[in-house]
């Protein structure tokens, strides 16, 4: 990896942390650059635009659904993978960065020109890889897409509730119930 590629990767990691801490609604590249020990000009050099920087931060910060669900062979392993996803977004390394996704999803309805496309892509990037997993387990196409949406969007909503309320016990119980419903046998 050349030094430019390495610097870009390190800067993207810092951008994700900055966005998770400071939010994206009023994000300005000049203060971000200063906080990260660089400049607005260098952020634009590496990421092209504010919107592209946000899109890359979201892509870099979301859970890798394909990897998490790679070894699913049956409903039991689907359930185990779903529980791993829940832990990743509530207690694991995705716990802080998922805040960026929540911000984009919240901004998309009121600022669709700026955020709708990146929000839609972020949703698709987490649901679409799960549809073939459900199909492999025997779910019909429409049911596979619905179950993938239930699981991903449901866990995301419960995660947001947990961030707001801090009610770990209630939401862990709700997540377990949601996962059980989303992985019940096809039929």
Q: Give CA–CA dist 81/173, Å, rounded.
A: 16
Residues 24 and 77 grouped into a single domain: no
Q: What is the pLDDT of residues 89-101, one digit of tens each?
A: 999 778 878 888 8
Query: What CATH code is carried by the domain that includes residue 26?
Result: 1.10.10.60
Highest mean predicted confidence (pLDDT) among 17-26, 96-105, 133-142: 133-142
- Is 53 within the bounds of a domain? yes
What's the pLDDT tens digit per position in 45-80? 999 998 899 888 888 878 888 999 999 999 999 999
- Answer yes or no: do 74 and 143 share one domain: yes
- The 10s digit of each residue's pLDDT in 136-156 is 999 999 999 999 999 999 999
Residues 53, 82 within the same domain? no
Q: Evaluate if residue 1 carries a pLDDT over 60.
A: no
Whether 100 and 30 map to the same domain: the answer is no
Q: Are 86 and 155 in contact (CB under 8 A)?
A: yes
User: Whole domain around residue 50: which residue ranges?
Assistant: 3-60
- On whether both 14 and 87 belong to a single domain, the answer is no
- Same domain membership, residue 129 and residue 84: yes
Report whether 53 contacts 47 (CB < 8 A): yes
> In terms of domains, do 75 and 108 share one?
yes
Angle at 99 between CA 122 and CA 12, to 5 degrees: 75
Contact 96, 55 (CB under 8 A): no
Q: Which of 10, 127, 116 is nearest to 60 (CA)?
A: 10
End-to-end CA distance of the chain: 49
| 144 found inside a domain | yes
* Pairwise CA distance, residues 126 & 82, whole Å: 12
Domain count, the chain: 2
């Amino acid at each position: 990896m050349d030094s430019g590629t390495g610097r870009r990767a390190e800067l993207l990691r810092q951008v994700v942390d900055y966005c998770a801490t400071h939010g994206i609604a009023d994000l300005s590249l000049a203060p971000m650059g200063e906080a990260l020990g660089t400049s607005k000009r260098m952020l634009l050099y590496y990421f092209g635009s504010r919107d592209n920087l946000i899109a890359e931060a979201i892509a870099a910060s979301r859970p890798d659904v394909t990897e998490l669900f790679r070894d699913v062979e049956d409903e039991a392993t689907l359930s185990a993978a779903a529980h791993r996803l829940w832990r990743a977004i509530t207690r694991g390394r995705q716990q802080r960065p998922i805040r960026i996704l929540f911000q984009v999803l919240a901004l998309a309805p009121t600022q669709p020109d700026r955020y709708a496309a990146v929000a839609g892509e972020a949703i698709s990037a987490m649901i679409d890889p799960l549809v073939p997993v459900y199909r492999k387990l025997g779910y019909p196409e429409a049911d596979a897409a619905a179950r993938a949406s239930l699981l991903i969007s449901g866990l995301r909503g419960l995660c947001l509730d947990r961030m707001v309320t801090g009610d770990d016990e209630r939401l862990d119980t709700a997540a377990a119930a949601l996962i059980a419903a989303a992985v019940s046998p096809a039929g």
